[in-house]
Amino acid sequence: MANHNNGLSDLLDKLAKLVAVVVLFALAFRMVIAILGTFEIQIPVEILANIFSIIDDIILPNAALALAGLVGLEWGFKKGFLSTILVLVLLALCVIPQFFPDVWEQIMGTLSGLANA
């Protein structure tokens, strides 16, 4: 039996590998900057704070979610329709509250109203 999602799985696999490499570079770069900070090298504190902020607050949390989503979708597409739906629901439970808090509040308000009815 042929796998019809092979092209999509391959694309997701390549994207997941790319995100993993970006995470490794971010972690390694953060470590190098921390090591350089122990020497007598004059690096302005503001620049270090900005670099750490970007890595810790933007790159790592979003890359972790992206990597988990890509690998989960790749697995779901290989396993079948129900597995894909499960992964999409789990991703929605992570993405909606984080990036769309107003939408999440509306969803929770609606569910609360249905529970109380």
pLDDT tens digits for 87-102? 999 999 999 999 999 9
Answer whether residue 64 is part of any domain.
Answer: yes
Count CA within 13 A, CB hemisphere, residue 59.
Answer: 19
> Quick check: 83 pLDDT over 60?
yes
In a domain, 1, yes or no: no
pLDDT tier, 21 (very low <50, low <70, confident <90, very high otherwise): very high
Are the C-beta atoms of residues 17 and 71 closer than 8 Å to each other? Answer: no
69 lies in some domain: yes
| Predicted local confidence at residue 1, as pLDDT | 43
By the 8 A CB rule, do 46 and 111 touch? no
Whether residue 57 is contained in a domain is answered as yes
pTM above 0.85, yes or no: no
Residue 25 belongs to some domain of the structure: yes
Q: 100 lies in a domain?
A: yes
Task: Look up the domain containing 33 and give its range.
Answer: 6-116
User: Pseudo-torsion of CA 34, 37, 42, 43, nearest 10°?
Assistant: 30
Number of domain units in the chain:
1
Which SS3 state, helix, strand or coil, does residue 2 take? Answer: coil
Residue 60 lies in a domain: yes
Segments of 1-117 assigned E as strands: none
| 29/44 Cα distance (integer angstroms) | 16
Whether residue 9 contacts residue 76, with contact meaning beta carbons closer than 8 Å, is answered with: no
Q: Of residues 38 and 26, which shows the higher confidence score?
A: 26
